[in-house]
Amino acid sequence: MNDDLQRKLIIAIDGPAGAGKSTIASRLARKLGYVNLESGAMYRALALKAIDRDLSLDDEAALVKLAQESRIQLEPTLGGNRTLLDGRDVSERIRERDVTEAASRVSVHPGVRAWMVARQREMGAGGGVVMEGRDIGTKVFPDADLKIFLDADPVVREQRRMEQQRIKGEVAASVAADLRERDHRDRTRAASPLQAAGDAVVIDSSQLSEEEVLGRVEELAREKLGASARR
Ligand code: DC
């Protein structure tokens, strides 16, 4: 293959919960031979540590200090991504309801965000990454090679999340309410609220299958690789 086609892109996928980011990001990364980094898992890991230590989720200074003392690692494995907090595998625990809510709350603090963004830049600097989150295209990698904003109708997102959660036996109505509350907080916070970067490709997945979204995103990534090969 032409060497330029091997160029390692930085691909940012942002969007609200339930839009399908995680699935698309991990499948796209696999197709391209890239690493998939889930930035939300880092906020979740910090939130878990704050819960375990009984820290107030409103105490920005304490949360920043906690982050500075923590080792949060995203470890891609063949079976999916693992999240390590100070060497402990917390991949399952951070998906639980209390941590999900707390992650959204710790992420409103500018100091916490600054720490996260710095770590995320280090992790993705070499390229060959599909990083997903809320502010990847706007703050973490404003010069990313490709920016996708994956959105979906709130009702569709709630339904998708309920289907995922029902497997774990949670009550559907409360899942929908949680998602709405978290969405509102993520979109209206003062520091880096969830929004599409001006140069992001916005894909509304409400009426699209997973395969269709993946096909579109892969096509965009391959166009970028082709364009860099021609330069
Ligand atoms: O993507 P997720 O659901 O795992 O994210 C958990 C929370 O972390 C989400 O409610 C908002 C926050 N977050 C963020 O503020 N910025 C990111 N880049 C990723 C997540």
pTM beyond cutoff 0.75:
yes
pLDDT digits (tens, 9 = 90+) for 209-227: 999 999 999 999 999 998 7
Residue ID of nearest Cα to ligand 1 atom 9: 104
pLDDT at 140: 98
- The number of the ligand 1 atom at minimal distance from the alpha carbon of 43 is 8
* Mutate which of 21, 23, 36, 43 for ligand 1 pocket (most atoms within 8 A of beta carbon): 43
Given ligand 1 and candidates 13, 39, 81, which is best to mutate, with the most ligand atoms within 8 Å of its CB? 39
Lowest mean pLDDT among 124-133, 169-178, 196-205: 169-178
Residue 78 pLDDT greater than 80, yes or no: no
Residue by residue, DSSP assigns the chain as --GGGG---EEEEE--TTSSHHHHHHHHHHHHTPEEEEHHHHHHHHHHHHHHTT--TT-HHHHHHHHHT--EEEEEETTEEEEEETTEE-TTGGGSHHHHHHHHHHTT-HHHHHHHHHHHHHHHTTS-EEEEESSIIIII-TT-SEEEEEE--HHHHHHHHHHHHHTTT--HHHHHHHHHHHHHHHHH-SSS-S---TTPEEEE-TT--HHHHHHHHHHHHHHHHHHHHH-
Instruction: Give the Å distance between the CA of 61 and the centre of ligand 1.
Output: 20
What does the pLDDT average to over 185-213? 94
* Domains of the chain from N-terminus onward: 10-221 (3.40.50.300)
